[in-house]
Structure 1
Amino acid sequence: MAQRQFQIVRCHASGVQAVVADTRHTFARHTHDQFGIGVIVRGAQKSASGRGMVEAGPGHTITVNPGEVHDGTPIGDAGRAWRMLYFDPHVVADAMFDVSEGRTRSYEFTRPVMHQPALAQRFLALYAAMTAAEAGYAGTLREELLLTLLARAVDGSASVEARAPVPAGIANARNRIDDDPAAPVSLSELAQTCGLSRFQLIRAFSRATGLTPHAYLIQRRILAARRLIAQGMPLAHAAAASGFADQSHMTRLFVRTYGISPSVYASACTA
């Protein structure tokens, strides 16, 4: 596989995206709207996460939660390769309802890296089932593997403390951005929403979310563009609808964040 190459693999389950990658790319700090779980199959990387800086190598399981700020830098010159599954939140919520025997739909990966061979093998089995040619038993197998994978990941993460909740004022500012990322908004407007000065907002927002208000706004626009592109919207229209000045602006940030161009991503989504 060539350097900086990503492939979105056809997945036989709704609300799930499968990715295979082999790259030297250094990813900027960014977020996803989905839960992600995968396994490093070659090489190693270090990355920021919601739990601090972590390192992952061959056989390590890696995870990310929706909205969790993370990045990724290869360790060494050869890059690294991984398999990853991204789940829409409702898929994980429905699975967790079963795993918890109806007690909750809430779920969070609390370990960004886990060195548990059995967990990695279970993930690779799920990845194979999600991307294999459709078969009569495949749907049942996928459901079984997903439920047991999430249950095992919960067990492996149980000893880690939950993150502190986002303060109400900061949550209001974040919601203001989330409601319409394409809309222009000033730092003063967000600060008034929180009852803080602009500088206080920057510090508090960064502590709570891992990003400054501007960086968070850009991430929400990139995520919006990604969804629109996946739905088949032309790139120029997706850029405008997501609040970018033009297509080239969207493209620069998209490549920096995901390591591939919007046009490559669009082609992968329709393959």
Structure 2
Amino acid sequence: MVAWRPAVPGISEVFHARIVNYEYPKHCHDTWTVLIVDDGAIRYDLDTRHHGAVGRTVSILPPGVVHNGYPSRRTGHFRKRNLYLDSGFLPLDLVGRAVDGSSFEDAALRAAIGALHDRLTAPDPLDVEERLAAIAERFRHRLLRRPPVVRDPEPTVADGLRDYLDGHLTGDVTLKNAAHLLDRSVAHLVRSFTRRYRISPHAYVIGARIDLARKLLLDGVPPARVAAETGFHDQAHLTRHFTRHVSIPPGRYAAGYPKAASGS
């Protein structure tokens, strides 16, 4: 059993647990709870509705609604991964729909949630923001029970987002702020940008920061300072991405760079 709060906006808690022969008492949260089960099966009562979840399903429990949780009689246990997401994750007018239809099969959505969990031990906020936006959009479509109406990607919006990213490259970059400036949803921004430039906003920012880091390293700037000046959290964060992009860590990248001979 493990719980933590990743240093990214929108996620209040991550909780992984294996539960055996235990029943949660009735309680409620002030967050949206997204639940996937990796082994066994869970049953839960949400308000007056009875629901369950197994490996093929995704469950969402809305804020402020009383529920419990217990292993199914058949398995006697379950192993789960929970995301507790801030109340703004979905519109609150979807609470009733989530009570009525809390659990459903959606292989793509389950895979997206699993992939997000895999990245939350050492998260990149922009990457998490992209993934949460796509997950929220899919939940909206499922809860509304109608085919998604997806706005066509807009090249001009993609260009506007690129200008925003370039202007905030070494500081705090949030798609939420960009969405406010460009009057579009985060999911639409990501679709438009990815269609136009064949790369996600997160991957674009990381690549641009790595290019800047290379220049600074060759100027003799120490890796720790390079990390601070290029928008990475710390030297470890820089090293992880730099090694993936360049194949060697930043400390070795400029180690053999020939220094100009001093004049006599």
TM-score (norm 2): 0.48
Higher relative contact order (CA 8 A, sep 6+): 1
